[in-house]
Amino acid sequence: MSILKFTEDHEWLRVEGDVATVGITDYAQNALGDIVFVQLPDVGASFAKGDEAAVIESVKAAGELKMPLAGTVIDVNPALVDAPATVNEDPLGAGWFIRIRLDDPSAADALLDQAAYDKLTA
């Protein structure tokens, strides 16, 4: 069973055991506008919570995907390199950025659930 969690920095995580798929929310992609470039980290890279894990550039601004929890990158979405607009088209699906093996899966419990995130962005 997967659990969807959110950060105040507008990342989402789909947590399945000790692995999380990470991307940016619909709110974030809408604020950025048309995404034209994504730079992904290397598989095997480890990050602390809050570290910049990926670079996102749009026609309006540059931003980053911050690491929502500490972990190691086990997969990246290569489709975003050639088709960064996928993030705009399907931010919670095909527009995922990275998959990470969480250092502490229970840390996801402290993140926002859907209701709390909706309240944050209302």
For 50-95, how does the pLDDT look when each residue is reduced to its tens digit (9 = 90+)? 999 999 999 988 999 999 999 999 999 999 999 999 999 999 999 9
> Minimal CA–CA distance to 64: which of 97, 92, 93?
97
- Looking at residue 1, what is its pLDDT? 64
CATH fold group of domain 3-116: OB fold (Dihydrolipoamide Acetyltransferase, E2P) (2.40.50)
- Cβ-in-10-Å burial (0-12, 13-18, 19+) of 115 comes to exposed
pLDDT per residue as tens digits for the range 27-48: 999 999 999 999 999 999 999 9
| Contact present, 63 and 25 (Cβ < 8 Å) | no
